[in-house]
């Protein structure tokens, strides 16, 4: 019963953070558009150092996309490792169980990464009406 309470508590916290982020981005549209540049800033220099991103929202989205892509790559490597461990287990039940557990956790990780990607797109696009 304790794990159900912990899950419910974590779900409420995540839902609250999502609602808070969407409210913040809706209340301050300048923040949603990433209005961190002033008229005196050299836009070309900023774009050069941030990978052609001139808004804070775009820069955060790009950084999170790279990070989530890296995590996806690691999850695929873990699936390959679990598969090799499964094939080379030679009937050893402990090795088979370990391999199945690695593959299962890697698949759960990929699902979480995909959901995180969708969540990031939704939160960053909440105040702007874009994706």
| Whether pLDDT at 58 is above 70 | yes
Give per-residue pLDDT as tens, 2-22: 688 888 888 888 878 877 777
* All residues at 6 or more sequence positions from 54 whose CB lies less than 8 Å from its CB, including other chains: 34, 37, 43, 46, 47
| Cα–Cα distance for residue pair 112/120, rounded to 1 Å | 12
CA distance 86 to 93: 10
- 44-48, 57-61, 82-86: the lowest-pLDDT one: 44-48
Can you give the residue ranges of every domain in the chain?
2-125
**pLDDT tens profile 62-112:** 778 888 888 889 999 999 999 999 999 888 899 999 999 999 999 999 999
Tokens encoding 14: 């995540």
Listed in sequence order, the residues at least 6 apart from 41 whose beta carbon sits closer than 8 Å to its beta carbon are none
């Amino acid at each position: 019963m304790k794990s159900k309470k912990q899950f419910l508590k974590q779900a409420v916290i995540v839902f609250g953070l999502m609602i808070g982020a969407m409210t913040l981005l809706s209340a301050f549209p300048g923040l949603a558009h990433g209005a961190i540049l002033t008229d005196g800033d050299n836009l070309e220099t900023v774009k050069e150092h941030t990978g052609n991103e001139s808004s804070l929202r775009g820069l955060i989205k790009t950084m999170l996309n790279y990070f989530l892509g890296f995590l996806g790559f690691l999850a695929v490597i873990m699936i390959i490792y679990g598969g090799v461990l499964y094939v080379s287990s030679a009937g050893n039940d402990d090795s088979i169980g370990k391999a199945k557990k690695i593959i299962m956790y890697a698949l759960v990780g990929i699902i979480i990464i995909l959901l995180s990607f969708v969540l990031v797109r939704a939160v960053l696009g909440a105040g702007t009406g874009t994706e």
